Structure 1
Amino acid sequence: MGHFRAFIVTLLALDAVVFVVGSVLAPPDPFTQLLLVGPALLLAPAMAWWLVYRDGFARVQGVIEPDDE
């Protein structure tokens, strides 16, 4: 998978996570949900860029599965 395609897939996955977590954590008031979900959606492209183009997935995997060698 190319970098751009991985970026788009990662961005869509992060957006889905933001909407699900925002709907669970925030009260049902739409204004409050926008205050929580809005900034998170603005940070999602930066996080997707870091994960795809700056080897963030490799760093996260290294934390989850450390090399014992």
Structure 2
Amino acid sequence: MDYSTFTEAALEARLAELRQDHSDLEAAIQALSNAALPELIVIGRFKRKKLALKDEISRVLDYLNPDIIA
């Protein structure tokens, strides 16, 4: 996604949405992991999606804070 056309407010809103999705996936992974018979394929899929969200969160943060070098 190209964030260069987003306003700062839109970036902040997108960041909040991404963080909520990341948190929701973490909760789902925990719940599935605690099941008597955990569905490993689903857990793996959720973990990959969570990692992709983390990468997108980093991209949004780069647009919000372009002067900070990681």
Report the TM-score, using the length of structure 1 for normalisation.
0.44
Report the TM-score, using the length of structure 2 for normalisation.
0.44
Higher relative contact order (CA 8 A, sep 6+): 2
Q: Which has the higher helix share?
A: 1
